[in-house]
Amino acid sequence: MIDLSDSKYYVNRELSLLQFNRRVLEQARNVETPLLERLKFLCISCSNLDEFYEVRVARLKEFEKHGLHGSGPDGMGPKEALHQIELAAHDLVKLQYSVLNDELVPALSREGINFIRRTHWTTRQQEWVRDYFKKEIFPVLSPVGLDPSHPFPPVINKSLNFIISLEGLDAFGRDTDHAIVAAPRSLPRVIRVPGDISTGKNDFVFLSSILHKHVSQLFPGMDVTGCYQFRITRNSNLFVDEEESNDLMHALEGELPTRHFGNSVRMEVADNCSEDLVELLQERFKLSDEEVFKVNGPVNLNRLISVPDMIDRDELKYPSFMPGTVFETPERETFFKVLRPHRKRSPKQSIFDILRKKDLLLHHPYQSFMPVIEFVREAARDPRVLAIKQTLYRTDSNSKIVDALIKAARAGKDVTAVVELKARFDEEANIKVANRMLEAGVQVVYGVVGHKTHAKMILVVRKESDGIRYYTHLGTGNYHYGTARAYTDFGLLSSRKDIASDVQKIFLQLTGLGKFKKLDKLLQSPFTLHDSILAGIHRETENARAGKPARIIAKMNSLLEFNVMKALYEASCAGVTIDLIIRGICGIRPGIKGVSENIQVRSIVGRFLEHHRVFCFENDGDPEVFISSADWLDRNFFRRVETCTPIEDEQLKKIVMEQGLQVYLNDNTNAWILQQDGSYTRARPERADDKFSSQQFLMDTLSA
């Protein structure tokens, strides 16, 4: 009898996440990716690693410090996990700088894009750099010489700093051996060299190079014997006791500044920094040798993300494309398209008139996000609309949807916004959005204590000739116009009474905290979603044992919840065919004889961030299909408010299955296949002319 609880069958969460980041980095190495996009992927891999240390590693260090085990299904405790992480992370960082120095910099140079080292500056460039330092940099620098009256200055999380070694007497006749120079965040890290002194059209210098060259001007009368850049990554987890806090917004506002000065978890330092200075920094920030990363290049590669936008070379970037729409908006005349029939609607026809006839499915970013914005805008200006309710997890700072909600409130409509203040790294932005809406008369609530509100829902209440009618939007992604152009997501616009009734109950639950019986159609965390997913898996298991068709296809960001993984193993043992499309973390080991032979796991990494969650259960020839805001993680099942929406219209169900699942199973260009040992191998077409990219296919199929 196989013990499916054995830790050997499960992959560690953190190591799986590092594997995902390695796949992102591989996009920077892929010569078929446009060159400036390769540079972006390098930056994204570095930004991802920053967040990994700020959140995941920081949490493991807290567990280790307080003697907590905190292991997942893989059974790996904090100490062993941290050791394995440091090995993998050092290897990853080494590869990042190799990709930069050995692959991208030479390739960019061949295209006339140069990062000029200070040892290669021409005489005229040196003169310009000297003038730039004098006018733009010198006035905002505040060097700190280290002595008893000048202790080590506070170092902000992820900021660029320099440790300086000095010889000679200072202005007061004393020996000062060391100093710290912090580069203000207002200064650009990459600076374009003027065209009249450039060797090409796109020459750049690093701020760090300029500071290195002229740092001696900050210490007149003393000799600078060394200048080395370093960066500290800190614990960025916020702690707010929701049970004890009377006002969550004010509690978070008070906690946000501490994010810049949490406990140190990592240091990046120039690889030519002297050992005595490295030891000085280690002692100051209480970091071990394993937590120090010596790098050959800028300590913050993320800042190179600005370079592609500074270069007007379309041939080195992804080709632009125009998202398709399912109906025209005031901003743009187009065609009403579902499965691409060309059927125009009258410019005067309301979105509510359309939804009374049929549901609409949107597939972002291939189809425009404007219909969602227009849905809220039309609700705001329609005199027959009585109320609008919406969840906001992440949204853009100049959100058109928030503007529409504010206009609706000022027009006298009842507007309720459930704002998730605890959306990590968006806390400050969400507080600002909440305050804007409060000032306009929007009723703002912050969800449920102990549970993040991660569901994506809009409810519009409209008085019509035949009575009150409800209109809804349910999605897999955030109400953020920027990410809607970069993340793959589904959204369903509907006037179905049964769905609207469930959405209304969830909003009443979020605002009034009252209990409701089981919903009619929607599955919801933390109440019914977990049990329902398990029930779907168990039903497929029993169907396989009975010789009936049995298959599970599921697409999501992450899979780690133990009971779901164990149920999938049991289903595989029974003969269920299981195809999992998981972008990031996956705790399952596929292909183990007698355990997971019928499970295949693939990850798609391409131009767009795969973000939608789609679940399909064969159900003996009558497939059940869902779109959801939830991954299959403990937090999504038990510590968040999530929704999972059944797609029952046969035409829309076909679209979801084809566009949300099957195209990804056919992908042999951007797909990576998970191996038993937790590593991934890139899928390869058998023949060059058999290449198939799911994202390119969807762009070709759905774009305007």
Active site positions, annotated? 454
Q: Three-state DSSP class for 601?
A: strand
Three-state SS for 445?
A: strand
Residues with Cβ within 8 Å of residue 231, at least 6 apart in sequence: 158, 159, 160, 161, 267, 268, 269, 299, 300
On whether the CB atoms of residues 323 and 365 are closer than 8 A, the answer is yes
Strands lying side by side in the sheet with 144-145 = 144-145, 178-182, 161-167, 223-234, 264-270, 292-295
Report whether 159 contacts 185 (CB < 8 A): yes
> What is the DSSP-derived secondary structure letter of residue 559?
B
What does the DSSP assignment read for 679-698? -EEE---SSGGG---HHHHH
Q: What are phi and psi of 447, to 5 degrees?
A: 80, -150
> What is the chain's Cα-based Rg?
28
Q: Contact at 8 Å (CB) between 576 and 598?
A: yes
389 close to 458: Cβ distance less than 8 angstroms: yes
Structure letter (DSSP) for residue 102 = I
CA dist 494 and 377 (Å) reads 16
SS3 54: helix
- List Cα–Cα distances, 361 to 82, 323, 365, 554, 649, in angstroms: 44, 14, 13, 19, 10
Cβ-Cβ contacts under 8 Å for 359 (sequence gap 6 or more): 492, 493, 494, 495, 496, 649, 652
Helix (H, G, I), strand (E, B) or coil at 93: helix
**Tokens 């195809």, residue?**
579
Question: Would the CA dihedral through 656, 658, 659, 660 be positive or negative?
Answer: positive
Give the integer Cα–Cα distance in Å for 192 and 543. Answer: 64
Distance, CA of 433 to CA of 471 (rounded, Å): 24
